[in-house]
Structure 1
Amino acid sequence: MSNAKFNKLIDYQQLKQALQQLEHTEHHATASTQPHSKALPSTQQPCSTPPSSTQLSSTQHSANVSTTQPNQALGTEGLTGSRLRSYAFAVIARKEYSKQQLIEKLLLRAHNRNEVLELVEELAQSHYQSDQRTAEMTLNSQLRQGKGPQRIKQALHKKHLDQQLIADDLQEIDWLEQAYQLKCKKFGLEVATEPKLKAKQIRFLQYRGFHLETIFAAIQRLPES
């Protein structure tokens, strides 16, 4: 992808001019709907006939047109072109997103769904967005938080990431050691013999996402001499 595609930033001067145009138009629209202050002659009584429905409809239509057109100039109908591209880069510069997450986030601001799909695909092909990278960062983050394999798989699913992206990494992790270290940090090195304390340790490790087989091995493991 050429660098020329990425050097277009939002033209804030153009947005400022469009906002001024909106305020100017609304001011004139308000002034045009106010009654004239010229007094009627004393011999002439004001007309008491209410305006017809056709006249009311025409007035409402004119007011709607005067406020809708400036809003379109401000781009409130959705981002497109260089504005959408600039917003996409601002989003992925802050954190890693899966492809599906990025699509959903951009659609909240974009005007055209197809444009979003094409842009995200372009970013993925150029490695600005990467499901593989996002999955690896998710795994590392979950491990730092003391999460087991079940919780890690849930985190991947929530981000619309295929766990096969990090299948090899998951197999290489010593989950028994992970569970044992968590148990020791929370409850100490001593092996629990009281049923209530055992149950508490089991619930704790289950909540962290470890399998029961790993949990039982962890809570019964003797301290290394």
Structure 2
Amino acid sequence: MTEQELYDQAVALLAKRDYASGEIRRLLKQHCSDADIVEEAMDRLLSHHYLDDSRLVEKEIRKNLAKHHGISRIKQELRHKSLDPLAIEQALEELDVDWFELASELKTKKFGDDIPKDPKEKAKQIRYLQYRGHTMSVIMEILTP
């Protein structure tokens, strides 16, 4: 496969949705075993600004915050997309998010304002908030009277 064909294939993929540079590199390597051709196509994509991991990190963070996901879940989702861990940490540090308020809104939306009295109900709420990526310290602060 030539560099132009590989580049065209990457552009076709990027036309459908945003990909992280790691994802695109992995997909291109599946179609072409020549690492030099893959790197040439990647360089061309980067020079045309078709790939921008920092923009994708910000977009994914906004999407996850809209879903009321906590910091752990956001990090997991971004790592799953093969994004640079340094870019992830940097973007999360720049955020001005009240994680307590975010978790509290999620708990209220799902379970209401009442603090659970029953241990089973409390455990259920803890599991739910942990699954959504909130830290145990925030969860206990919300669920403790």
Equivalent in the alignment of 1:196: 120
Deviations 1:166-210 (A, max 9, x none): 13344x111111101110111111122222211111111011111
Equivalent in the alignment of 2:68: 146
Equivalent in the alignment of 1:183: 107
Higher relative contact order (CA 8 A, sep 6+): 2
Across the aligned residues of Structure 1 and Structure 2, the Cα RMSD in angstroms comes to 1.7
Paired residue secondary structure (1:108): helix
| Pair 1:98 & 2:20 matched | yes
The CA deviation at 1:102 is 0.7
| Pair 1:113 & 2:30 matched | no
Deviations 1:108-139 (A, max 9, x none): 22252211112112222331101101111221
Equivalent in the alignment of 1:12: none
Is the radius of gyration larger for structure 1 or structure 2? 1
In 1, Cα distance between the equivalents of 2:117 and 2:45? Answer: 56
**Structure 1: runs of 5+ lacking an equivalent:** 1-78
Equivalent in the alignment of 1:82: 4
Describe how 1:5-84 pairs up with structure 2 within 5 A: 79-84=1-6
Percent pairwise identity: 35
In 2, Cα distance between the equivalents of 1:81 and 1:194? Answer: 63
| Pair 1:213 & 2:117 matched | no
1:164 to 75, 89, 92: 89
Equivalent in the alignment of 1:135: 57
In 2, Cα distance between the equivalents of 1:95 and 1:86? Answer: 15
* Cα gap change, 1:165 to 1:121, in 2 (>3 Å): farther
Deviations 1:76-113 (A, max 9, x none): xxx31322221111111111111111100111222522
Question: TM-score normalized by structure 1?
Answer: 0.58
Once the two structures are overlaid, the 10-residue window that deviates more, 185-194 or 118-127, is 118-127
In 2, Cα distance between the equivalents of 1:111 and 1:87? Answer: 15
Question: TM-score normalized by structure 2?
Answer: 0.88
In 1, Cα distance between the equivalents of 2:54 and 2:21? Answer: 10
Relative to its length, the structure with more helix (as a share) is 2
In 1, Cα distance between the equivalents of 2:36 and 2:90? Answer: 26
Aligned residue pairs total 142
